[in-house]
Amino acid sequence: MRIALAQLNYHVGNFPQNSARIIDAIGKAKLEGADLVVFSELSVCGYYPNDLLERLEFIRESLAAIEKIAAICDGIAALVGGPSINPSPKGKMLFNSAFFLQDGAIKSIHSKTLLPTYDVFDEYRHFESNKEFNLIELKGCRIAVTICEDLWFNQKVMNSFGRENLYATSPMEENCRQYPDLVINLSASPFSYHQERLRKDILVENAVKYKVPIIYVNQVGAQTELIFDGGSVMVDKHGKVVKELAYFIEDFAVVDTSDQELNEIQPLTETSDRIYQALVLGISDYFRKSGFRKATLGLSGGIDSALTLVLAVRALGAENVKVLLMPSQYSSDHSVNDAVTLANKLGIDYETIPIHGITNEFEKSLASIFRGLPADLTEENIQARVRGSLLMAFSNKFGCIVLNTSNKSEAAVGYGTLYGDMNGGLSVLGDLYKTEVYQLSRFINKYEEIIPENTILKPPSAELRPDQKDSDSLPDYELLDAILFQYIDQARSVQDLIESGFEEAVVRKVVSLVNQNEYKRFQAPPTLRVSSKAFGFGRKMPIVARYPL
């Protein structure tokens, strides 16, 4: 049987556009002689619609779109993802489903059993878990339909309670009792550089364990924080990858289930390359799907703003990015020169607005209130907030989105100013620790110096007071990031960190900073997710709480 894998980029709630793309792919599959074309999870409405699923008009539009798509399935069948209504008077109103379309109609509906409710996922909020397992018969082939997490029954989650199985029911076990010839999985699996290898391993393990080939179709593109990298694949019953589609771009291929000799896989790339592609895609789709074209940011001469600018230019084009240079009396000449050099190298427009006079006016206005008190963090924050106000004014006047340049290390310990350098419509680097920012910057400079070498080599500094360095307030970033990764990404306890060899005083200081600054992160812009534990939807902690130490 010939099966088309349609790896497309969807837009949540954009039923006309999503339907048109699906219909075009069905037409292409038909021309190439496919018997079946497979799309990704919730493809008709886009993944993930969140509480739009609670609106009846949204569900009606989704079902109408599926009926429209079914009508053109003449001489070809399709598997399309979308919400379906639960006919039972008990349980949630909806299922997360795959619709089998054939002969101009919906022939059957196959729903998701394992509903993830961890990290960025909250599917049980809206969907009922499937309890029925029925195969499709097409051209003499018995097909089991699964949806994303349904293949992850053996997944274990590391937490402070130990390793635990998440689920009690195995959809693969249930389906394979009916002896399918093929398993198809419709997926919306977001990119994470920590878990991308695991995803392919899960597919191979299932194929080998149940001795059945698996076709996995993932979506591509970004939806706010989530970035979907594609990489759709067919694995034979021996665990060999027969066909692998491209990553981070739309792709389409027709595979023949009888062709056991094919072995077309994507070339291996380094982690920094994949993170780079993910962030460029994340920025591009955030703007395109939000209806914006232009971006701005504050270019300081530091590594974070430099890297953010390079990514923005690659995503949006130099003509759509304009930056502000906002030096203060504490800004070093080499920082200003580095910023100008980078702007010229990338071919972007920039404006220079010195902030010394503006901050002086603030301080004059506050002088009578602050009389007799020494200068401290307050005056530093005024500088950051002046810059934030200038960027927001520029944004309003010229219709651009401000890109936030803070990294994950800074966000973790609160090393940022609310309504100042934490401003922005999108956090580009908010899921990269500072050490990872350096790694990605070096990757960008691998073949040509784009980011000035001085920007990468100089000690990091906020330049808000004379001779300031980040190390005045924080541990060295190599040490800080090692502690943060284990505490945040791996959920290890303070005692675990101390027993693993970190100095107790440093651990307690870092962890206290993380816990004390939850209120800041709650007000931060959405963060492009590239790890398995990003701030935002992926890590939900109380703002007001007494954290264990």
Catalytically active residues are 41, 112, 148
Q: Give phi and psi for 178, each to the nearest 5.
A: -100, 10
Burial class (CB in 10 A: 0-12, 13-18, 19+), 164: exposed
CA nearest to 413, candidates 441, 390, 433, 393: 433
Question: Alpha helix locations (H) across 399-433?
Answer: 408-413
* Burial classification of residue 162, based on how many CB atoms lie within 10 Å of its CB (0-12 exposed, 13-18 middle, 19 or more buried): exposed
β 295-296/401-404 pair status = parallel
Please count the residues of the chain. 549
Burial group, residue 48, by CB count within 10 angstroms (0-12, 13-18, 19+): buried
Long-range contacts of 468-475 (CB under 8 A, 24+ apart): 468/330, 470/415, 473/415, 474/409, 474/413, 474/415, 475/506, 475/509, 475/510
3-class SS letters over 24-57: HHHHHHHHCCCCEEECCCCCCCCCCCHHHHHCHH
Amino acid present at 508? R
**Adjacent-strand bridge partners of 138:** 141
